[in-house]
């Protein structure tokens, strides 16, 4: 190894780069993207808007305009503020970084902990480990993937985590967790002096938001941050996430934000999308209707378990083992449909694939391909 390479952290050298699957020529149902693009007339209008942006200037007013537009759109409660991230991935990193207190300065002399239910979104553990915190995963109930409130509260009491991540709906299990269980866990985080981050990436498809509980009981949520993104809404390529929370808490995290983290082009795209929020809401409604049809069709296939979804994805078990899931994944890809094989992500996901809800045509193609493969495999 060269001396230069030896300067790179050992744990970084041991990592595998985040693998984006090659989707050339395939129906792309692997990454929870909105399958609908913008209508041609709106696309042309957006093009003209982007063409007029002053690219020679650092981002300024338009980013402030976007912050104001998102605040009007999401309507956080009084005393809360909102900050922008280059996708919510950046915001997860910044919250984690802000809590990376060295062990010499913590009450128990240990690294601060980040705790999240598992299986869950990989970026929580990734950010924690990379930024010098301990990650603690707490299994979801294996039958229905609901929050195990007893196990969560016990782990929170033991580990006293700095951060508890709650994705509502959760990825890759797709469902909302029971509200009473959420309330218990959020209260336990408060009791042990931590921050609860509620990640609502799938809010456009969920029909419910935790923001209503926050408005109803502000005192119970003084330690809560609410994370959203425009990625699943329909702008995955644009990279805009936003974090809402009590102003004093958000102000600390905002100090770590790179000053120009939102490009002027991204801000202009997001502003344009919010001006046409009705178009995106209609697309989400179509996805929700297709989700119902897809779930019914999947449940009619032999040997398939599909869990309820409040997101634009469906988790299904096709086989009792990972080899069966891999065979189905490969058969789908050969038939031109790319999904995500999550079977080896966590012990409770054995034999499982995760599908993104696509357009009606895409879902029909998916169901036909899956049906053919399940009727063929012994």
The residue ranges that bind ligand PLP (CB under 6 A) are: 32, 87-89, 121, 167, 171, 199, 201, 229, 231-232, 241
Residue 31 or 247 having the CB closest to ligand PLP? 31
The two three-digit tokens of residue 120, written as one number: 């869950």
Pick 160 or 228: Cβ nearer ligand PLP: 228
- Is residue 261 a contact partner of residue 282, using CB atoms and an 8 Å limit? no
Q: Is 59 or 120 the residue whose CB approaches ligand PLP more closely?
A: 120
Chain residue whose CB lies nearest ligand PLP: 87
Work out the burial of residue 214: count CB atoms within 10 Å of its CB; fewer than 13 is exposed, 13-18 middle, 19 or more buried.
buried
Judge contact between 180 and 214, C-beta under 8 A: no
Rounded to a whole number of angstroms, the minimum distance from the CB of residue 319 to ligand PLP is 24
Residue in this structure with the two tokens 């990734």, named with its chain if needed: 126
Nearest distance from residue 233's CB to ligand PLP, in Å?
Answer: 10
> What is the nearest approach in angstroms of ligand PLP to the Cβ of residue 94?
12
* In the complex, minimum distance from the CB of residue 103 to ligand PLP, in angstroms, rounded to a whole number: 28
Say if residue 345 is exposed, middle or buried (CB neighbours under 10 Å; 0-12, 13-18, 19+). middle
Task: Tell the smallest beta-carbon distance from residue 190 to ligand PLP (Å).
Answer: 22
Positions of E strands within the chain: 27-28, 80-85, 113-118, 134-139, 163-167, 195-199, 224-229, 241-246, 305-306, 313-317, 337-338, 340-341, 352-356
**Residue closer to ligand PLP, measured from CB, 88 or 343:** 88
Nearer to ligand PLP, 232 or 346 (CB): 232
Cβ closest to ligand PLP, residue 239 vs residue 333: 239
**Burial of 279 by CB count in 10 Å (0-12 exposed, 13-18 middle, 19+ buried)?**
middle
Instruction: Compute the least distance from the CB of residue 182 to ligand PLP, in Å.
Output: 15
């Amino acid at each position: 190894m060269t001396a230069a390479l030896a300067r790179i952290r050992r744990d970084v050298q041991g990592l595998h780069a985040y693998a984006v699957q090659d989707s050339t020529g395939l129906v792309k149902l692997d990454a929870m993207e909105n399958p609908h693009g913008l209508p041609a007339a709106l696309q042309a209008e957006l093009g003209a808007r982007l063409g007029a942006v002053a690219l020679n200037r650092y981002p300024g007013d338009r980013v402030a305009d976007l912050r104001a537009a998102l605040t009007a759109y999401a309507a956080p409660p009084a005393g809360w503020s909102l900050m922008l991230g280059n996708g919510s991935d950046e915001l997860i990193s910044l919250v984690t970084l802000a809590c990376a207190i060295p062990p010499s300065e913590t009450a128990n002399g240990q690294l601060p902990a980040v705790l999240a239910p598992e299986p869950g979104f990989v970026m929580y553990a990734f950010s924690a480990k990379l930024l010098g915190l301990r990650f603690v995963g707490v299994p979801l109930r294996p039958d229905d993937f609901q929050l195990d409130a007893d196990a969560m509260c016990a782990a929170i009491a033991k580990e006293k985590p700095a951060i508890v991540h709650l994705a509502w709906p959760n990825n890759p299990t797709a469902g909302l967790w029971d509200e009473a269980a959420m309330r218990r866990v959020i209260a336990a985080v408060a009791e042990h002096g931590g921050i609860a981050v509620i990640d609502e990436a799938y809010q456009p498809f969920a029909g419910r938001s935790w923001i209503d509980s926050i408005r109803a009981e502000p005192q119970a949520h003084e330690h809560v941050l609410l994370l959203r993104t425009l990625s699943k809404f329909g702008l995955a390529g644009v990279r805009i996430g936003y974090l809402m929370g009590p102003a004093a808490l958000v102000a600390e995290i905002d100090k770590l934000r790179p000053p120009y983290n939102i490009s002027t082009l991204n801000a202009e795209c997001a502003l344009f999308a919010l001006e046409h929020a009705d178009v995106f809401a209609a697309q989400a409604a179509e996805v929700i209707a297709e989700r119902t049809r897809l779930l019914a069709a999947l449940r009619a296939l032999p040997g398939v378990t599909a869990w309820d979804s409040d997101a634009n994805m469906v988790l299904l078990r096709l086989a009792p083992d990972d080899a069966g899931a891999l065979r189905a994944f490969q058969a789908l890809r050969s038939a031109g449909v790319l999904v995500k094989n999550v079977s080896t992500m966590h012990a409770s996901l054995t034999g499982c694939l995760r599908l993104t809800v696509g357009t009606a045509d895409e879902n029909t193609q998916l169901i036909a391909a899956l049906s053919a493969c399940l009727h063929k495999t012994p």
